[in-house]
Amino acid sequence: MGIDLVAGGKSKKTKRTAPKSDDIYLKLLVKDNRQQIQCSDFEAAVYERSQQAFFVFIQIGSIHEGQGSALRFTETARARIEEAGGECLTFGQLSLRAPLGQNTVLLRGPNNGREAVKHFGPAPGVPHSHTKPYLRTKGRKFESARGRRNSKGFRV
């Protein structure tokens, strides 16, 4: 019998975490910059967001809040955007301004509103699970007894 080791005992992290050199100044430099190196993705994201002031945001649908180009703007959204110094563009105006879509960001809605996502998660019937079961049909005889009603023992 063997020992139950993850990945058979192989070390998956073999990158160097400290300089090989004994140079104290190099060690100090690494120590000072370690936090910046670890946060580089975050800093890149902050930099990217700071550069998006010149982007045009495109929404296929109506905008209720925010700024950019859309099929329709509510009156309050239009007033708020223009008060903040932004512009409300139609798709015709946008195509004249940026024919190839330069400096535009297409906004998409959340994917979690899909019917399929309601079935993801812990198994239906498990305590504290709100996962939707796959049913042949909805009705009196289908998954409506124990675990579904307080009067039948418990309810998840």
For the stretch 109-154, pLDDT in tens is 778 888 999 999 998 888 888 899 999 998 888 888 887 788 888 7
Radius of gyration of the chain (CA): 28
CA 153 from chain center: how many Å? 39
Q: What percent of the chain has pLDDT over 90?
A: 7
CA distance 78 to 65: 8
CA distance 35 to 27: 14
Residue 35: phi and psi, rounded to 5, are -65, -40
Higher pLDDT, 70 or 83: 83
Tokens read off for 154: 């418990």
Q: Any idea where the domains of the chain sit in the sequence? A: 24-108, 112-155
Write down the pTM of the prediction: 0.41
Query: Under DSSP, is residue 63 helix (H, G, I), strand (E, B) or coil?
Result: strand
At 97, is the pLDDT very low, low, confident or very high (cuts 50, 70, 90)?
A: confident
pLDDT at residue 38, rounded to an integer: 65
Half-sphere exposure of 36 toward its Cβ, with a 13 Å CA cutoff?
A: 5
What's the CATH number of domain 24-108, 1.20.1440.230, 3.100.10.10, 3.40.50.2300, 3.55.10.10?
3.100.10.10
